[in-house]
Amino acid sequence: MGKQSIEQLQKVATQLRRDVLRMVHAVQSGHPGAPLGCAEFFVALYFDQLHHNPDFKMDGKGEDLFFLSNGHLSAGWYSVLARSGYFPVEELKTFRKLNSRLQGHPATHEHLPGIRVASGSLGQGLSVAIGVAQAKKIEKDDKLVYILMGDGELQEGQIWEAAMYAAHQKVDNLIATVDYNGQQIDGPTEKIMDLKNLKAKWESFGWVVNEITNGNDMQSVLDGLEKAKELAGKGKPVVNLLYTEMGYGVDFMVGTHKWHGSPPNDEQLANALGQLEETLGDY
């Protein structure tokens, strides 16, 4: 895949947002808020950053790999996988329906190309990504492993077991990203369980912290991910703090936890789609 212009990448991100909204609306279930906020990240990663092969192989040897630990962002991940050629875009309409490969949370059981481990029960993906990164080191494979986590997800203890381990083992072919939107299902993270100084937390665990302060601006995300790549391979694992807004792109959804796990009704969908141009053709 050749490099695409910012305008082209933004079009993909807009289409991803439409896909997400239409998918969760169709089954009246799912999680629209966070994938709307991570659209730029998903698109920058799959359409610009990753050296990857949509002709899917489980072991991913010689490829950059991405893992989604906060599996409830599945609609966004499925959209970017389909739009980058892992499976037919048409298949997005089966999301969360019986006999679909597009399970509510990502799974390997139905052999959906692009998925290497199930996620949904939070806190597990970082450990898995570390294991893959270590397998790459044994194999002398110089490609990178990427992993996205939610900020609320950092309340899980296993994350910090993994954080301690990755630094101790110098897993420097790993680029983690925290979707730092400050929201979780019951409310703002600072009210539910305050994360306090995340930058200092990761640094004290021995990680290099790379702040991407505008996670909903395509150029900022591209620049931030380029910088992360430069920081990798220097003896420390890298974590991006990606500042995003939950629900970004739809005026009545942005910046609140209310759309974390609730689908829009017919009227709300029409309103939302009116704010997002159909750039690549709906599924």
Partner 1 sequence: MSLDLKFTYTEKKDTRSGFGDGFLEAGRKNPNVVGLCADLIGSLKMGDFQKEFPERFFQTGIAEANMIGISAGLAIGGKIPFAGTFANFATGRVYDQIRQSVAYSDKNVKICASHAGLTLGEDGATHQILEDLGMMKMLPHMTVINPCDYNQTKAATLAIAEHEGPVYLRFGRPSWPIFTPKDQKFEIGKAWKMIDGKDVTIFATGHLVWEAVVAEAMLREEGIHAEVINIHTIKPLDEEAILESVKKTGCAVSAEEHQINGGLGDSIAQTLIRHNPAPLEYVGVNDSFGESGTPTQLLEKYGLNAENIVKAAKAAIARK
The residue ranges that bind partner 1 (CB under 8 A) are 58-61, 107-109, 116-121, 123-136, 138-139, 157-158, 161-162, 164-165, 168-169
Q: Between residues 139 and 277, which has the closer beta carbon with respect to partner 1?
A: 139
Q: Which residue type occupies 121?
A: S
Q: How far is the CB of 163 from partner 1 (least distance, A)?
A: 9
Q: Between residues 161 and 278, which has the closer beta carbon with respect to partner 1?
A: 161
Q: Between residues 107 and 250, which has the closer beta carbon with respect to partner 1?
A: 107
Q: How far is the CB of 201 from partner 1 (least distance, A)?
A: 17
List the one residue out of 7, 39, 15 whose CA is nearest residue 242.
Answer: 39
Q: How far is the CB of 135 from partner 1 (least distance, A)?
A: 2
Q: How far is the CB of 65 from partner 1 (least distance, A)?
A: 8
- At residue 103, what are phi and psi to the nearest 5 degrees? -70, 160
Q: Between residues 147 and 209, which has the closer beta carbon with respect to partner 1?
A: 147
Q: Between residues 100 and 158, which has the closer beta carbon with respect to partner 1?
A: 158
Q: Between residues 139 and 226, which has the closer beta carbon with respect to partner 1?
A: 139
Q: Between residues 44 and 117, which has the closer beta carbon with respect to partner 1?
A: 117
d(CA 133, CA 171): 7
Q: How far is the CB of 212 from partner 1 (least distance, A)?
A: 25
Q: How far is the CB of 70 from partner 1 (least distance, A)?
A: 13
Q: How far is the CB of 50 from partner 1 (least distance, A)?
A: 16
- At residue 64, what are phi and psi to the nearest 5 degrees? -75, 140
